[in-house]
Structure 1
Amino acid sequence: MSNGSWFVFDEFVMGSGMMCQRCTQSNLQLPGGVELDGSRLFRDRMYIQYGVIPPARQYKSSTEGRNRHDILVAYVIDNKRYKENDRREINAAMEEINNYTIEHQNRSIADINKLDWPLVKVSYIHYYRIGEAHKKKTSRFNATPIDARSPTYELVETFLGAQLRLLRTMDIQITGPGTGSMYQTFLPDGSVVINVGGLIQLRAEDQNITYTSFMEQYMTSGAPYLKGLYYPINDRPKGIKRQQLVKLIREAAKLIMNGFSMPVNPRDNLAPDGQLFVELCDKDKALCELITGREPGTSFLCYHSWVEELIHERGPWREVIESDGKRKSHCPFNRTLMRELRDKYGIIHHEKSVSQSKTSVSKM
């Protein structure tokens, strides 16, 4: 990976089990994704490595290289977090979008350009099924496993290679959090990622109250050639609804066809809770250092957590009452400031009074 310059890094992180699985940055970006253009460089290198031509570069607008009458390609990525009702609503939303496209796709270019909504074809996919047809096939090439040279002439068909060829065609990716979100880096310039979120598991210690979790927001904010949209944070606990998903898909299509500017401001690619975290980190320096510094002696729980756990005061951020009556959390932070910012960003938080909690700090 190179853009013609040498870089000196203050810290180099390699994954090892749970260590640094969630190395959160103060700006909630994928490190190097924006300032070093690392996300795009990594994307293009992977395409080349697997013998696929990298997506075309767009420099200023998502409209570059497009015609307004083009039919946009959208995919809903399967996710284990979708409930049965969610899947029904997703299918209904796909049917509505696709029926609109079928109804208008044979009109003249002039008529298509006057439609209220751009035309979109939506499909549902499972990443693990992409490339299954090649699983038992032998390579068309005489690959030599011991040859360390770049495989520009010897290519073996793989699942990732097949997935990249599909990702290269996507204009809109609709995904929940988790593994599905990690593929967004490979999308072409000028694409839109819709994160429909998930729900945190109900736990007795959290009073069996769930909340929205978008998790890998840093992947979106760290890819300035993409635009991120999010399911309304306060509505997601009610389940995915057809009307809202249709609205998001149409909003994504309009953004693409009207031309959103690039590079996208990383903060604009965060959900409300992600934007809250960035502002909180800027104002509560002690908290920011606790989470991002990863200094020796710091409790692992204080930096091995998603930002939504902090914002909804879960796990090590939960306020509990000690035996002497003092209120405390395992990981300290300016709770008053955080709650003020939660109101500022309009994030609804449901919780009983801490005085009703029997949890003790010693149990954490």
Structure 2
Amino acid sequence: MGGGMMCQRCTQPNLQLPGGVELDGSRLFRNRMYSQHGVLPPARRHSHSAEGRNRHDVLRAYIIDNKRFTKTDRKEINAAIIEINNYTIAHQNENISTINKLDWLLVNVSYIGYGSIESQKKKSSRFNATPIDARPPTYELIETYFTAQLRLLRTMDIHIIGPGTGAMYQTFLSDGSVVINLGGLIPLRPEDQNITHTAYMEQYMTSGAPYLKALYYPINERPKGIKREEVVKLIRQAAKLIMNGFSIPVNPKDNLAPDGQLFIEMCERDKKFCELVTTRARDTDFGCYNFWVEEFIHERGPWREQVSTDGIRKTHCPYNLTLMRELRDKYGIRHYETSVSQSTKISG
């Protein structure tokens, strides 16, 4: 994990966090961090998400504040929270048999910012070191903001995020949790005709954690802004997935959005492109491997086709543009949105 040259964008052909699946690295890292901060690691669910749950349980969903949410987005999100919570309040005291027959599962939704989660006010303690800890036999464990965040993450059933820092916390969720990525919008730029598009960004974190299930805000609808009814739909879908018992481990490709799945197929079918963007070979232009999938799929920056004075059409970073455009149609990704309030298609 990291940023820029520190490899946040060290893209793999399978668009996974390296070692997260084949070495079970995401779960091992999660459990290690819990243990080192004196918090009991989440219970292991071996085969499906419904293990240890009852259908009448109230699931806990948390929407994480994101700087990419506009004032209007937050208004719509708040309306969704009210709708979901009012339904839960109206039915949570009914008997179990009645709850089990409801149209929707019960969910309590909260809106938080990780920066507002305060550590507990208590003195530090001394804990025995783990057998593999290289430090002295005992070490001082100090309560931190991250410790408080881990305690909260351990209780989450549904983690609702936008791109960026908040997405990096999903690794610490319990087995059988659902991550809902609401996406963001890439900033408008004159060289891109002031056109925006959906960006989920850290998809590799979810595909690299096979004990989680991912849902995404519809890729072609996100440029119109976040809508209450879509957020409600996603939360209820997440709750249903959990209680119906989605299988663990989850197929990593199923945890990617349409553009992430497109990237994997592109890598399989255009080997030169795949080598260019994943091997980080010496003398390769930095912009050809330090990128987000969304930038490539929507032909931004070094992926934009340029026409020279002699009429030759080419891109700064070479790839099979015709194939990519065919795959964009295959995966139903609209290119482009002309504004956040329109959905006119510009031919690609």
Superposition TM-score, scaled by structure 1 size: 0.89
2:123 maps to 139
Residues 1:275 and 2:261 are matched in the alignment = yes
Residues 1:174 and 2:181 are matched in the alignment = no
Q: CA deviation at 1:324?
A: 1.4
Alignment-mate amino acid for residue 300 of structure 1: F
3-state SS of 1:154 partner: strand
Alignment-mate amino acid for residue 297 of structure 2: I
3-state SS of 1:193 partner: strand
C-alpha separation in 2, matches of 1:300 and 1:327: 22
- Residue segments in structure 1 that go unaligned for 5+ positions in a row: 1-13, 355-364
C-alpha separation in 2, matches of 1:18 and 1:155: 32
3-state SS of 2:233 partner: helix
Match for 1:339 among 325, 328, 335? 325
- Residue segments in structure 2 that go unaligned for 5+ positions in a row: 128-132, 337-344
2:339 maps to none
Q: Deviation per CA, 1:206-238, whole angstroms, max 9, x where unpaired?
A: 000000000000000000000000000000000
3-state SS of 1:229 partner: strand
Residues 1:286 and 2:272 are matched in the alignment = yes
Q: 2:55·2:243 contact (CA, 8 Å) conserved in 1?
A: yes
C-alpha separation in 2, matches of 1:257 and 1:93: 21
C-alpha separation in 1, matches of 2:64 and 2:74: 11
Q: 1:49·1:150 contact (CA, 8 Å) conserved in 2?
A: no
C-alpha separation in 1, matches of 2:266 and 2:22: 22
1:360 maps to none
1:9 maps to none
3-state SS of 1:174 partner: strand
C-alpha separation in 1, matches of 2:22 and 2:56: 34
C-alpha separation in 2, matches of 1:151 and 1:90: 48
Match for 1:92 among 79, 82, 85? 79
1:113 maps to 100
Residues 1:52 and 2:39 are matched in the alignment = yes
C-alpha separation in 2, matches of 1:310 and 1:153: 47
Q: Deviation per CA, 1:70-113, whole angstroms, max 9, x where unpaired?
A: 00000000000000000000000000000000000000000111
Q: 2:177·2:242 contact (CA, 8 Å) conserved in 1?
A: yes
Q: 1:49·1:152 contact (CA, 8 Å) conserved in 2?
A: no
Alignment-mate amino acid for residue 285 of structure 1: K
Superposition RMSD in Å: 1.8
1:4 maps to none
Q: 2:4·2:290 contact (CA, 8 Å) conserved in 1?
A: no
1:311 maps to 297
C-alpha separation in 2, matches of 1:17 and 1:85: 31
Q: Report the number of matched residues.
A: 335
Q: 1:200·1:211 contact (CA, 8 Å) conserved in 2?
A: yes
